[in-house]
A and B are shown apart, each in its own frame.
Chain A
């Protein structure tokens, strides 16, 4: 138990160091380009809490990021490099948005139908590259990148030729009616009416907040408490061992891709039915790739994904505010994000520091076989 804690603490330290280093570098950049660097950085670091609507933006963004992060974490845990979340998000948004627009059902049926359909299409769009990988050994990086673009073209086609009102000036659907929009996370109860009104006027935080929490729990239990999660983790740890032990490797790999797609599809539904409340072009804007950062900071452990998503969503929201209130543009956060990935993945950067610290604290030599396990 002691050892476990120590390694978990180490992992955590590693991430914290990486994030801090990236933030410091970000500040150095701000110093170089800004006339009022302190103000800019303050806006960046504190902005999301400064106003109610900004707080709302942060939470909304974090919900999407949580879902995408869970999707990525699930499939990465099996050491399959599926980059297909982007396409699954797009199709999830398309399908749920279409249902929101065109299916004449009352809201309490239409919204769940939209969510389920988004999850279903995400599942299918994950199943495909999973099958190609498991049975045909087709490089999943290439196949998922291709499927992302194919999904984008499908999305654009339906949006432009079937969904967009003929007289609309730009490529977007009509705003969904109330029956197609995710309800506010504050229940419509008399004594909550004031709060509900306040949230609804300034934010789009919807019941997806609860669904994201459920999704997080489901993902965690799925990965650490179910046979499927066990199979997935063993395949990630040593695929030969999994095969030898009797795990159906092919089936599990396919399912890892597909189940990951369910979460990404749900994220797509959140974009369409929760945040934008209509279908627009470029609705996902690379958020599938940002999910990789979220999963990476969480070390592919669902338990830490919401935290990681909140931290990352905070950075993004802060960057938006910084841009609006200073002379530094929001893209600086992308640079910081990239630095975080580089520092977290570069095994040789942080372990060296950590090992030195650890060695000073604990002069006992580490068991030499631990090295062989890498």
Chain B
């Protein structure tokens, strides 16, 4: 008997040459909960977007119920009974839950929206699948858990038989996660099929029937969950990448530069994102923060750089408090920041390269003299950095928008590296960067360290953190669960256990090394 969904030898190559899926074969049986796990960038979401018609495969065949299908848009996929719940909800805040469920396909009576029918439909679906919602509440008044249930009801209303849930627990509190799992079981009991994308192995064990592990755009294996161990899965996920060759002279660590004590952050939607973090970064060392994405790293960086308010705790750079201070104050305290979301935060695309290079220093001499910004200095400064960082451009007076992606990255690096910071915070510095530029960026990070800068490196690329860091901490669910005083002595496998929450050190064990 054929599987419900078969994806055969799927290849996806993006126009920029990135191979997201490299001959993936994946199948789902009717009525199962199939977990799809892998690190970020392993190609899970791309594979599912192909199944949902949002992306077209470069090569390969998709069969539903044994018949080959070609989806041109999500509408085709929905018609074939496939629905996907994205991480960011597609909802209209001022409409009610029921109105959101039926939006675009409303029941009508004499041309008017039949609200009672909408509410009835919502209630029936809600009861049938155990997805508790309040049909008459407006979306902006309900919590994230309910919003997610609304999203699931939406695709059920459109007749989905196969539900793809993209990291559904990432935004949920533990209580809400428990609720969600109950609902998923109810769905399956009534004949639905669920594909569950995650990178939390605990959840895989808890909810799924089978699990497929992806790494680097390939499937590493599919096995019944009952036969899988967390350790085994972790090994499959993390694998053994070739270690990067980074020559890093040994260096005595200097004085304490960044001191973080009991840092907490609760998001606006009430998620406890940072749960009492304490650590130090010393001059002349790279402290790597490893962890699967979504465990609070993004928020940690934004809180430390003044882009997000902290809920509690303290952080000091050379004794100067930096929490809940504007970004200017944080920068003046000696912090440089390579942001994760570079094109939205790190650059002004319509401004020139020279202008982009001075955003943190235009107000100081020599750039400012009296009331004026000295253009000559700005241009000279730009020219120097363009040369040092090998930014390929005819001049510093062209807009950043006219540069290639790799060169845009270099503009940010040039600015942040050249600010002579006490503390350099680098968030996913090599993401989306080609091999040559990656090498360059890594060298620069090491160079900063050699010069005595304290570097806080946050990266989801385990090989990168391990090879660059002097010390390494692992973040899991907003906490530091492990410290490795000598990153070069740790094994990927071991770190992987901490990243996936299988192992954790006790506070006493860690204290000495933080």
Q: Which residues of A contact B (CB under 8 A)?
A: 1-4, 221, 225-227, 229-230, 233-234, 237-238, 240-248, 367, 369-370, 372-374
Contact = CB atoms under 8 A, between A and B. Distances in A.
A245 B363 contact: no
Contacts of A234: 348, 351, 355, 359
A220 to B, nearest CB: 12
B331 A4 contact: no
Contact of B398 (A3, A229, A240, A374): A3
Contacts of B363: 227
10 contacts: A1-B397, A3-B394, A233-B355, A234-B359, A238-B350, A241-B347, A243-B327, A245-B331, A246-B328, A369-B403
Nearest to A243: B327
A367 B360 contact: no
A374 B403 CA distance: 13
Contact of A373 (B328, B337, B346, B399): B399
Nearest to A3: B398
A221 B355 contact: no
Contacts of B344: 238, 240-241
Contacts of B330: 246
B243 interface: no
B372 A225 contact: yes
B506 interface: no
Given A230-B373, A240-B344, A246 B402 contact: no
B432 interface: no
Contact of B401 (A221, A229, A248, A373): A373
A241 B348 contact: yes
Interface in B304-354: 305, 307, 326-328, 330-332, 337, 339, 343-351
Contacts of B305: 244
B371 interface: yes
Interface residues of B, number: 42
Contact of A1 (B307, B348, B360, B395): B395
Contact of B348 (A229, A238, A370): A238
Interface SS, A side: helix
B346 to A, nearest CB: 7
A351 B372 CA distance: 35
A226 B400 CA distance: 21
B408 interface: yes
B405 interface: yes
Q: Which 6 A-B pairs have the closest CB atoms?
A: A373-B401, A245-B359, A246-B328, A237-B348, A373-B349, A238-B348
Given A243-B307, A246-B326, 4 more contacts: A1-B397, A234-B359, A238-B350, A369-B403
Contact of A244 (B339, B399, B403): B339
Given A221-B372, A244-B327, A369 B348 contact: no
B362 interface: yes
B477 to A, nearest CB: 27
Contact of B404 (A227, A230, A243, A369): A369
B394 A2 contact: yes
A226 B372 contact: yes
B185 interface: no
B115 interface: no
A247 B373 CA distance: 15
B375 interface: yes
B359 A369 contact: no
B346 A226 contact: no
Given A1-B395, A244-B345, A373-B350, A230 B328 contact: no
B368 interface: yes
A234 B415 CA distance: 15
B307, B360, B362: residue with the most chain A Cβ atoms closer than 10 Å: B362
Contacts of B401: 369-370, 372-374
Interface string B381-405: 0000000000000110111111111
Contacts of A370: 401-402
A237 B350 contact: yes
A240 B345 contact: yes
A52 B403 CA distance: 52
Contact of A4 (B351, B358, B398, B405): B398
Given A369-B404, A369-B405, A373-B401, A248 B346 contact: no
A217 to B, nearest CB: 13
B402 A369 contact: yes
A242 B404 CA distance: 22
A227 B362 contact: yes
Given A237-B348, A237-B349, A3 B331 contact: no
Nearest to A230: B362
Given A1-B394, A3-B398, A240-B345, A246 B327 contact: yes
A221, A244, A369: residue with the most chain B Cβ atoms closer than 10 Å: A244
Contacts of B348: 234, 237-238, 241-242
Interface string B401-413: 1111100100000
